[in-house]
Amino acid sequence: MTITITPAASERMRSFLAGTPGAAGVRFGVKKTGCSGFGYVVDLAQSLGEGDELMTVDGVPLIVDGKSLPLIDGTVIDFQRQGLNAAFVFHNPNATGECGCGESFTVG
C-alpha cells in the first residue's frame, strides 16, 4: 500500500491537525458519488474505525478504510492554489476515467 503526499499537501494536513488537538489523523478514502462513480474523502478523524489502516506518510498520520485501499493504492495527494481557490488534488493510477470537473472517478 503506497500513498504519497506532496510537501504542499503535507503542510496543509499538518496545519489542520495542529488546529484540532486530539485528532487521530487525516482520513483519506473514497465514497460512491458523483457522475463517475467514486469521490475522494479527506477529513480529520477523531479515532480509528474497524477495518481502518493507520500509516504515517511524511510524518502525517493517514487513516484509510479497508474498502478504499485497493481503489487508492499508488495515489499521490497534492494541494494546489489557483487564485482564490485551494484544494487537494489526486493523481490516482487506478482511475480509468474522471468526470469533467475532476471530483469523481471510475476504476476498470
Classify residue 75 as exposed, middle or buried by CB count within 10 Å of its CB (0-12, 13-18, 19+): buried
Report yes or no: 33 and 68 within 8 Å, Cβ to Cβ. no
- Write out pLDDT tens, residues 77-88: 999 998 888 989
Alpha helical stretches, state H, 6-94:
7-18, 69-72
Average pLDDT, rounded, for the chain:
87
Helix/strand/coil for 68: coil
Superfamily of domain 4-95: HesB-like domain (2.60.300.12)
Per domain, the residue ranges of the chain are 4-95
Report yes or no: 24 and 43 within 8 Å, Cβ to Cβ. no
Report yes or no: 22 and 46 within 8 Å, Cβ to Cβ. yes
- Write out pLDDT tens, residues 96-105: 766 555 555 5
Low-confidence stretches of the chain (pLDDT beneath 50): none
